[in-house]
């Protein structure tokens, strides 16, 4: 489905981002993988090439730096002309981000990575999608983007903001045949889940039995391509079964 398409995936070196990149690779996409960890990016690129990707490029970028984000967009357009698919997956969180605890500087970093960077990349890459009258933008939100949780105020705010941005972008870009999809995953078995099990081994059975896999979320993202041009999945929430409380990003 994606042969000849260039897809840029932030946070594409591990977890959900790598699973999305691999799903795209299996459909013949060419990929631009973005993260801060150069070694992990190299491993992800190798896996995507083996899975069938047309070409794979990597960019080591700190998405909290707007100048670096601008450079990423500029380099991507110089390389491929048009980014056909943009996946804003990278996210940042800290344990304490409520009105009563946490470092406001960390709040700013969450806003920069979780919200400002996707907005900036969309603004820089969407005009070319409109020009070619074709494109897909997938924003990775969270269940916290649908229902805030005590103790996760700043993170929830960024994900609510991302949902709002997605809806506005969809209204603006849909007439130009550009789909904008916002995905809200619940608990996924990623590095965060593994760390929680290390901290509390009693969680291991719950985590392994109930949590979704990154591949589940990647398959959800494929709805944007499996549906016709007349259909745009705008908000998609995917939850583990049965839901695990409390949720965490």
Predicted local distance difference test score (pLDDT) of residue 29:
97
The whole-model pTM stands at: 0.92
Predicted local distance difference test score (pLDDT) of residue 244:
57
Domains of the chain: which residue ranges? 6-237
Q: Known catalytic residues?
A: 155
pLDDT tens series, the chain, 249 aa: 899 999 999 999 999 999 999 999 999 999 999 999 999 999 999 999 999 999 999 999 999 999 999 999 999 999 999 999 999 999 999 888 889 999 999 999 999 999 999 999 999 999 999 999 999 999 999 998 888 888 889 999 999 999 999 999 999 999 999 999 999 998 887 777 667 666 777 767 777 777 888 999 999 999 999 999 999 999 999 988 765 555 444
Cα–Cα distance for residue pair 174/170, rounded to 1 Å: 5
For 39, half-sphere exposure in the C-beta direction (CA atoms, 13 angstrom radius) is 0
| CB atoms closer than 10 angstroms to residue 119 | 16
- The CATH number, out of the four listed (3.40.50.720, 3.30.70.1560, 3.90.79.10, 1.10.10.10), of the domain defined by the range 6-237: 3.40.50.720
Predicted local distance difference test score (pLDDT) of residue 243:
59
Question: In the 8-state DSSP scheme, what is residue 151?
Answer: T
CB 21 within 8 A of CB 46: no
Predicted local distance difference test score (pLDDT) of residue 249:
45
Backbone angles phi, psi at 56, to 5 degrees: -135, 125
Predicted local distance difference test score (pLDDT) of residue 242:
67
Cα–Cα distance for residue pair 231/98, rounded to 1 Å: 38
Judge residue 205's burial from the number of C-beta atoms within 10 Å of its C-beta, 0-12 exposed, 13-18 middle, 19 or more buried. Answer: exposed
Whole-number Cα distances in Å, 79 to 7, 31, 76, 136, 248: 12, 11, 5, 18, 37
């Amino acid at each position: 489905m994606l042969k000849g398409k260039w897809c840029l995936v932030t946070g594409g070196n591990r977890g959900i981002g790598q699973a999305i990149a691999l799903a795209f690779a299996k459909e013949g996409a060419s990929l631009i993988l973005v993260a801060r960890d150069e070694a992990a990016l190299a491993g992800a690129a190798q896996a995507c090439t083996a899975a069938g990707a047309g070409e794979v490029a990597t960019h080591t970028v700190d998405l909290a730096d707007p100048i670096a984000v601008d450079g990423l967009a500029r380099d991507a357009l110089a390389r491929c002309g048009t980014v056909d698919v943009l996946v804003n997956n990278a996210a940042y969180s800290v344990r304490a981000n409520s009105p009563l605890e946490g470092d406001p500087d960390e709040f700013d970093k969450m806003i920069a990575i979780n919200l400002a960077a996707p907005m900036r990349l969309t603004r820089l890459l969407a005009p070319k999608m409109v020009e070619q009258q074709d494109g897909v933008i997938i924003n990775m939100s969270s269940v916290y983007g649908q229902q805030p949780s005590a103790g996760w105020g700043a993170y929830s705010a960024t994900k609510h903001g991302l949902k709002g941005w997605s809806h506005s972008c969809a209204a603006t870009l849909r007439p130009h045949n550009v789909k904008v999809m916002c995905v809200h995953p619940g608990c996924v078995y990623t590095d965060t889940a593994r760390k929680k099990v290390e901290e509390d081994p009693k969680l291991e059975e719950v985590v392994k039995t109930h949590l979704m896999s990154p591949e589940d979320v990647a398959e959800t993202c494929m709805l944007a391509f499996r549906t016709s041009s007349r259909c745009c999945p705008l908000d998609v929430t995917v939850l583990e079964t049965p839901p695990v409380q409390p949720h965490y990003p």
